[in-house]
Amino acid sequence: MRLRVRYGARAMLVSAVSGVPEGDRHLVGREPEVLEQIRDGSLSVVIWERRLPRGLRDALRRWLVQEPPRFEGFAGDAAWVDAALQGLVSSPARTFLAQDLQSLVQRFRLLTGTGSVKISFGAVTGDQCRKFHADYQRLRLITTYLGPGTEWLPEHAVRRDALFEPPACPVTANQLIVREPGQVRRANAGDVLLLRGHDGVTGAALGAVHRSPPIEALAKMRVLLVASV
């Protein structure tokens, strides 16, 4: 398997078993196996790039007209998927989503070695987490099915010291945290992100610095899955 590694403005191909460039903490690939590379303690962001099927966006927009409730819970049996997709009519889009949610969460459970995975799925209409930040969680999986994807920063574009006790104003905080504004990356709809949290104890990579994209002023909506341990 060959994986594409992005570093700054460059792109290169490396084998799945080789290391990443010095100082680089992210890895991008087009096969699902790339997600397993998060086990590398030097990586904080791993992304599986993929495309969503045609028709999914329109089906989700029709679903959102019903204002379906957001699902918050833990992954157990397949019943959680039916609860998460409540009100979405039977269609190829629903079939895809049901299979995809189950598959991604199962992959995440195997990767993390835990059966207790917290799940959040549904629509987001307002601005959440406008400040760039690193989670104090072990690991988080995020994929966006509708709307703009999660924004994240490569390591060279972050001022780590500014993450601690940032100003209350998100704009001011981000001006301090983001060393190179032109290097802010945004995932595409369909991409699967694994974001390592910052534990401050082990020798693992520092937590991935990311944020939810601002959408409220643009009157946009997002539908996304978040799984975390």
Q: How far apart are CA 97 and CA 27, in angstroms?
A: 25
Task: Label residue 221 exposed, middle or buried (CB < 10 Å: 0-12, 13-18, 19+).
Answer: middle
Q: How far apart are CA 227 and CA 174, in angstroms?
A: 25
CATH at 88: 2.60.120
Supply the pTM of this predicted model.
0.86
Domain contains 20: no
- Report yes or no: 85 and 102 within 8 Å, Cβ to Cβ: no
Domain contains 6: no
Q: What is the pLDDT along the chain (229 residues), one digit of tens a residue?
A: 334 433 332 232 232 323 344 456 899 999 999 999 999 888 999 999 999 999 999 999 999 999 999 999 998 777 899 999 999 999 999 999 999 999 999 999 999 998 889 999 999 987 777 899 999 889 999 999 999 999 999 999 999 999 988 999 999 999 999 999 999 999 999 999 999 997 654 444 589 999 999 887 777 899 999 999 9
* Tally of domains within the chain: 1
- Give residue 199's pLDDT: 65
- Give residue 200's pLDDT: 52
Domain contains 18: no
- Give residue 5's pLDDT: 37
Residue 101's domain comprises 26-228
Domain contains 44: yes
Domain contains 149: yes
Domain contains 10: no
- Give residue 8's pLDDT: 32
Domain contains 177: yes
Q: How far apart are CA 63 and CA 69, in angstroms?
A: 11
Domain contains 43: yes
